[in-house]
């Protein structure tokens, strides 16, 4: 199952003791920043913070190291570092502590913390994801899939890479394979924002099926003679989205909401929300579509 427990990378993340702290942290930090996580098995916030830090350190692709110190087993070291409450995290560079924080932190702040240590250098995972998305957008599905797979080889729970593979399978019409990827995810990963967007895109693709201009022309012609037929307009929207005419699909669905917002148990609005999720919140079509939908709903 994708998203299950995964082993740590010994080169990037390691346990340390009072005896090895000097080498693991002080000496190593003279060449590369080292994050030190002081924790204990009984500390509940530590159980949340530690794995999140480990994930981000792996994603940094070698720009930073992480050392974990169990304070119960290294009480003298904890006293020397004046650890009074855990989780306590210090960052070392050039043999000296240069940053730190106490208590659990949201992932966004942890990314900023690591970013300060790495001088804002783009980590290899982010660079690879940018490359893969660019390949997919240009139509090179095979190339994109290969890069997404490489990212997952480095970080098996990377939601953006998993979403990328789902999108690749969807783009080539391999819906069953895309479903296999989704079904193999942990519940937590299925809630990942990028993954939910990819799943929404898959569901829309499955719904629209194979489409071409002749089908769209036929539906549009029927709608001209029967403009109050909401099912016809809905089917047209599905077909339009299936061939990439996102703006036109959104416009058709908003017209249904304008004419009868409760039609078919609010089906048009639900379809709009799924399209917005699939396109992403910052897509221009989503932004404009949400604006138009709000204008209709609150007019």
Tell me if 157 sits within 8 A of 189, measured CB to CB: yes
d(CA 137, CA 237): 22
Tokens of 37: 């996580």
Q: Are 64 and 96 in contact (CB under 8 A)?
A: no
Question: What is the dihedral sign for C-alpha 133, 134, 139, 142?
Answer: negative
What is the DSSP-derived secondary structure letter of residue 256? H
Is cis: bond before 65, omega within 30 of 0? no
Residue 49's alpha-carbon distances to 16, 53, 68, 110, 183, in angstroms, are: 18, 6, 12, 9, 27
**3-class DSSP assignment, residue 98:** strand
- Given 13, 35, 46, 57, which residue is catalytic? 46
Provide the CB-side half-sphere exposure for 75 (13 A, CA): 1
Angstrom distance (rounded) from CA 139 to CA 208? 20
Q: Which of 43, 161, 165, 168 is catalytic?
A: 43
Question: Is the distance from CB of 249 to CB of 282 less than 8 angstroms?
Answer: no
Q: Quick check: is 46 catalytic? A: yes
- Whether the bond between 210 and the residue before it is cis, its omega within 30 degrees of 0, is no
* Residues labelled catalytic: 43, 46
């Amino acid at each position: 199952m994708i998203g299950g427990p995964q082993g740590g990378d010994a080169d990037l993340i390691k346990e340390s003791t009072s005896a090895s702290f000097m080498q693991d942290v002080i000496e190593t930090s003279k060449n590369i920043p080292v994050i030190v996580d002081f924790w204990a098995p009984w500390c509940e916030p530590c159980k949340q913070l530690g794995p999140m830090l480990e994930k981000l350190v792996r994603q940094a692709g070698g720009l930073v190291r992480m050392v974990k110190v169990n304070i119960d087993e290294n009480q003298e070291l904890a006293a020397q570092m004046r650890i009074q409450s855990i989780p306590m995290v210090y960052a070392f560079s050039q043999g000296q502590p240069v940053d730190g924080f106490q208590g659990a932190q949201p992932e966004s702040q942890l990314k900023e913390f690591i970013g300060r240590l790495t001088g804002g250098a783009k980590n290899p995972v982010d660079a690879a994801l940018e490359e893969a998305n660019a390949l997919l957008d240009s139509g090179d599905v095979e190339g994109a899939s290969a890069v997404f797979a490489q990212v997952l080889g480095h970080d098996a729970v990377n939601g953006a890479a998993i979403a990328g593979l789902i999108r690749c399978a969807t783009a080539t019409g391999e819906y069953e394979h895309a479903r296999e990827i989704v079904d193999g995810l942990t519940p937590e990963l299925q809630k990942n924002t990028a993954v939910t967007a990819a799943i929404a895109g898959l569901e829309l693709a499955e719904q629209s099926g194979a489409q071409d201009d002749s089908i769209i022309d036929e539906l549009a012609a029927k709608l001209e003679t029967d403009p109050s037929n909401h099912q016809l307009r809905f089917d047209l929207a599905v077909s339009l989205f299936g061939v990439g005419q996102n703006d036109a699909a959104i416009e058709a669905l908003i017209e249904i909401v304008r004419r009868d917002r409760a039609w078919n148990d609010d089906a048009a609005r639900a379809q709009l929300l799924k399209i917005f999720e699939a396109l992403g919140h910052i897509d221009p079509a989503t932004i404009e579509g949400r604006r138009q939908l709000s204008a209709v709903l609150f007019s």
